[in-house]
Chain A
Amino acid sequence: MAYFIQIAFAGVALGCIYALIGMGFSIIYKASEVINFAQGEILLVGAYIVSSLVFDWHLNFMLAVVGGVIVTVLIGLLFERLVLRRMIGRPVFSILMITIGLDTILRTAVTVKAGSNPLSAPAPYTITDGFNIAGIHFGANDLLTILVTAILCALLYYFFQYTRYGLAMRATALDQEAALVVGINIRTVYALAWGIAAAVATVGGVFLAMGAFSIDITLGGAALLAFPAIILGGVDSIAGAVVGGIIIGLVQDLTAGYESHVANVLGAGIHQITPYLVMILVLLIRPYGLFGTRKVERI
């Protein structure tokens, strides 16, 4: 039982990271119906900058995170302003592929800058800190991840529910033309969406790096697992991204924890595909996800 709780705890923490990344996807999708494939590499760039600010520039951890967030938000804003805005009305294929182009550019830029050696992960405390209750280890990383995710979710909830710009974003998501008519500036909405998405991705990246103790070029690949999360939750639902993220994190860590018992049958590494298997199942049974609206692209 302790083993189960231990794994489930780690799974929730991992799920919170997926939730952070998934929220970025959902916010952008809601605002502009674009799936930003480059989210993972924005996360990588963010984590990389935070790490180099802490270890090369000897900055305070919090300041470094702020620095990382500023850079990634700038990347997001510039890409939205200079590239995506010219792509409005173009087919999904082109828009998806252009974000894949950005993805490739960012990943290669980090490879060229950092080489192939992994960097150490920055953390505000000793990275292996934590405490034990009844034989279960609660790592400081995991606790902080869960805590920060909860705070960010609360902030975003407040933002979307009560603030002027949050309401403007929801109105735009609901009906773009009507939003224009009542005087909402759609450009601000797009910019906000990209800014928020890049910021939460960077925070997610920092936690992801802490969990792995290092930053290497494959870090951005983890963001791909936020796809199952958002599809499970419903692509256009921000709450869905959070719930979906946590479920996917749990599924992945539980299969990772127990797969050695059935290694004869399933072989190694099944936990790397269980999120995708869940996703395919969801797409077959309930393609709009748990919380999504039923309007989904199907024939």
Chain B
Amino acid sequence: MSASPKASATSPAARPSTVAPPSRLLRSRASRWIAAILIVAVALIFFSVGNDDWFTIVNYTLIAAIASLSLNVLSGYTGQISLGIAFFMAIGAYAAAFFGGAAPSSPLDPLGLALPFIIWLPAAGIVTALAGALIGPTALRLKGFYLGIVTLALIFIGQYLFLNVRGITGGPQGRTFPVPALGGATFDQQNSYFGLALTSGQQFFLLNLIVLALASFFVYNLMRSRAGRAFQAVRDNETGATIMGVNLFEVKMGAFILSSFLAGIAGALYASYSRYVAPDYWGLTLSIQFVAAIIIGGVASVWGSILGAAFVFGLPLVIDHFNWLPVASGAGGISSADLNALLYGLLIVVFLLFEPGGVIGLVRRGQALTRKFNTHKDEGGETAEITDLPADQA
């Protein structure tokens, strides 16, 4: 019964001829290369001229982008409402602290196994994925806003746990988190690799960029595979997906576990970059910021996750960098965080009303328009790629 989706997914040879005339394919491939070269160039220029402040801003944005991607897998691609991403990030952060943290020197210190970076980063993801696998069967029995409220409850249960499981979280005082290190080179100091001296910010930048790139490629390709199509089928119509032979439970669990894994990695990177996080950081506001990020950037889109994270998490840092706004709101002033909250609150409403695909939806709409224009000019050709447009929902 899965013959038809398989056929369309596993016959790349048959595709180009039905998709588009070769000229347009070349043009789009060329523009893709140009885009890739531009991105690499921007990254390189930034890498060589950026100062420490800008590396801080970009690093936090990259980490937020990984977490946005994680939420997009669950909410954007699979349509499962979640307000619990902050909880899963926290699990990742504390798992990293447990595996990578220094061994306790006194009985009151939180536990740490002092394992190397190569182990604690994946371990953070795996532990969070396991947590997701444990919670999933309970949460995913529910649909719609029930799922939203259960994941909301996770946030509060998390707050309680993070304050009380002192052996791992350090309680309300918090604890320090391990710094990534390769061999003897720890990322919070300047190190030279192959004769190239890199600042702390540059090392974290490379690390975060590599992790984000890997996660993005994985999600991007996954969503074009059989499993990914099943995710999106479940989002668009559960009954329809079941009839096509999609196992709802498997798909939802898969999305939940993958999303948890990525959230755990993002949480570990965040905690390790900021070195210290108090338990109340992992609150509802953080989750809502990620929801805002994917709605504004683009639901069910890899680039959308990155753009949304840049807007929601990068913008207030940029504003603070230039001291454009007062530190705290009140007396007629507005702080960068509050201005940003006001903006993303408004943009959630505006985008959901007028362009549910977010910024990426706008871009795709523009592309579809130009393509339509070109198609008329080239007299023909079915615009097959338009089916990749997100449905009017997520």
- Which residue numbers of A lie inside 8 Å of B, CB to CB? 35, 83, 86-87, 90-94, 96-98, 100-105, 107-109, 111-112, 114-117, 221, 224, 227-228, 231, 266-270, 272-273, 276-277, 279-280, 283-284, 287, 296-299
Contact = CB atoms under 8 A, between A and B. Distances in A.
Majority secondary structure of chain B interface residues (helix, strand, loop or mixed): helix
B153 A298 contact: no
A104 B79 contact: no
B326 to A, nearest CB: 11
Number of chain B interface residues as a range: 35 or more
Interface in B174-233: none
A287 B157 contact: no
B149 A227 contact: yes
A30 to B, nearest CB: 14
B329 A104 contact: no
Nearest to B82: A93
B341 A108 contact: yes
Majority secondary structure of chain A interface residues (helix, strand, loop or mixed): helix
Contact of B142 (A115, A221, A267, A287): A287
B352 A94 contact: yes
Given A87-B352, A108-B338, A298-B141, A283 B146 contact: yes
Interface string B76-97: 0001010000000000000000
B198 to A, nearest CB: 38
A267 B346 contact: no
Contacts of B288: 100, 103-104
B348 interface: yes
B142 A297 contact: yes
Given A267-B163, A279-B153, A299 B141 contact: yes
Nearest to A29: B145
B36 to A, nearest CB: 32
A90 to B, nearest CB: 7
A297 B143 contact: yes
A152 to B, nearest CB: 25
B109 interface: no
A93 B394 contact: yes
Given A86-B353, A87-B352, A104-B344, A287 B329 contact: no
Contacts of A92: 81, 143-145
